[in-house]
Chain A
Amino acid sequence: MNSVLVVSHLKKRYGDLIAVDGVSFDVMRGEVFGILGPNGAGKTTTLEMIETLRPIDSGQVLLDGLNVQREPQKVKQRIGVQLQSSSFFDKLTLTELLLLFGEMYERQVDAPALLEEAELRDKAKSYVTQLSGGQKQRFSIAAALVNDPVILFLDEPTTGLDPQARRHLWGVIRRIRSEGKTIVLTTHYMEEAEELCDRVAIMDSGKIIANAPPQELIRQLLAKGFTKERIERLANLEDVFLDLTGHSLREE
């Protein structure tokens, strides 16, 4: 087993509220691991503890063999982080921002290549404020890649995006994965998890209640004798929308 991230018995409490209640999971090198759950389930808090942004109450996180609590600086060197409301300085162009973030990791950055990866090449001289929602999220991923991280953390990368922008972003995430990066993402869209993730952990009220590949979880459910009353529909309104506005996912 080649685990790049080992989380054991992670806990976080805010006053009376137990936000994360003994969470454990492993992430394999090269996989896309999804943490699913409704708002307030503790997904973001879990990620932020792994990312060194929030103190860990108890439990342990080993990232690429490093103890997150003991060696936060080294951990920061190895992770790429996209926060839920990632935001950047106003009056710097995308290229300038990428170069500046590179400096923070003491790295020379190939900004055009990163922008290419996020399909933002023609926006190199724009400010973040001039980008659409989807472009912002893609830039935020490009910025998370400046240090060529071992693991990329994406916190609800597609929340608030329209279907086209969401599919566009999925394309970017798949390509990054195909280049061998490990990705941990949170989402509350089941469809997204099914589409992108090799394995998912389902979280509710601070606990992980299931952890397996999506198809496996579905098999388990069906094995319990679950049947869903359904009307056969060969297409839905989203398909209509995509058909009308173009499958090629034109730039938003």
Chain B
Amino acid sequence: MRLKLKLMWAALKMFMRQREAIIWTILLPLFMVFLFSFVKFDGLGHVAIGVVNHSQDTTLVAALRTIQALKISEGKTEQELLHLQKGERALVLVIPVAFQQIGNDSLTLYLNAEKPQETQTGKLIIQRALDELALRQSHLPRHMLRAELVNSRNLTYIDFLLPGILAMSIMQSGVFGVAFGFVILKKRGILRRLLATPMKIGDFIFAQVCTRLLILMLQVLVMVGAGVLFFNLHFIGSIFNMLLVALLGGVVFLAIGFALSGVSKSEDQVAPLANVITLPMLMLSGVFFSRENLPGFAHVITDFFPLTYLADGLRSIAIEGATLVDVLPQLFGLTVWAVITLFIAIKAFRWE
């Protein structure tokens, strides 16, 4: 036990003294969250409407401007139609000189055929604004909606993204850290030198794995901590559950790393293999974007990616406050993967 602890301590020291390692495992994921925190994917977005007002009356334009879902820009007909053709406007509304005076037909609406959803929404809102104006003049009694504010947790993109990035960095540091680390130990003869000592090599692997898992827990704590402190993460889950799921995922990716270092002779061989395994998961496991929009078959396949289990598990715990029972499917999926990857790692690992 003493030797295992000493080996772990040495491995931790080496990690802490390695600036690149800290940058890759801790700072880079945080930086990615920071970058994405500027992107606003939330809600429907705005419907861009170009308005060409030939009349003196500005009531309609003023009314439209108060509606937050719209982005109003005013200009001349030709200009606005040009913008519409370039896709910068969803609709262009032309208000005639005789607006408000006659009351029938009068307004022209140009629709961008490429943006059916936005044009439909825009059309409804404009019609609604016109009705409002007409009703005001008629003084007829009408049904009013009484709106009450309900406190919701208004989850943002960061809430979706941060647990995903955490899962990603667990995958990257597991696969790349171990694969590169061991290939280098192997290639430079360090493993061979260790084999010449009476140390049980299992102790060495054990210490390496434990150190990696410790670092992984540090990643979880730093990400969640920074998320809550700086990125307004709506964290309502249990940090212990987070750590547990993260550890299980960590085992899967460490095992993949060991397997890769087993089949590769040099860094040049490891890099492409590691990328082939991690890139598809990075893209398709719902780290950056929800998998909802994936076509059916891709959706089904990606359901079974280890990174999907890890990202979904971490996300449900973090922002939905899911219990371990709630994430049982993810725990089960990761356990199956752990068994598979450990088996492959043991078969593939070579000392020299």
Contact = CB atoms under 8 A, between A and B. Distances in A.
A96 B13 contact: yes
Interface stretch (A8-16, A77-85, A179-187, A233-241): A77-85
Interface string B3-35: 100110010011001100000000000000000
B193 interface: yes
Nearest to A153: B196
Contact of A100 (B6, B18, B195): B6
A53 B351 CA distance: 11
B196 A85 contact: no
A105 B196 contact: no
A210 interface: no
A51 B194 CA distance: 12
Contacts of A126: none
Tell me the interface secondary structure of chain A in the complex. Answer: loop
Interface string A15-58: 00000000000000000000000000000000000011100000
Interface residues of B, number: 20
A100 B13 CA distance: 12
Interface residues of A, number: 26
A228 B28 CA distance: 69
Given A91-B18, A103-B2, A76 B13 contact: no
A72 B188 CA distance: 23
A91 B189 CA distance: 16
A179 B106 CA distance: 110
A76 B17 contact: no
Given A91-B13, A100-B6, A53 B196 contact: yes
A170 interface: no
B197 A104 contact: yes
Nearest to B11: A89
Which of B3, B14, B190, B193 has the most chain A CB atoms inside 10 A of its CB? B193
Contacts of A103: 2-3, 6-7
A104 B193 CA distance: 12
Given A53-B195, A53-B196, A73-B198, A92 B189 contact: no
Contact of A89 (B2, B14, B195): B14
A243 interface: no
B194 A92 contact: no
Given A53-B195, A81-B196, 7 more contacts: A79-B196, A81-B193, A87-B193, A103-B6, A103-B7, A104-B199, A106-B3
Interface of A: 51-53, 73, 76-77, 79, 81, 83-92, 96, 100-101, 103-106, 147
8 contacts: A83-B192, A84-B189, A85-B188, A89-B10, A91-B14, A91-B18, A103-B2, A103-B3
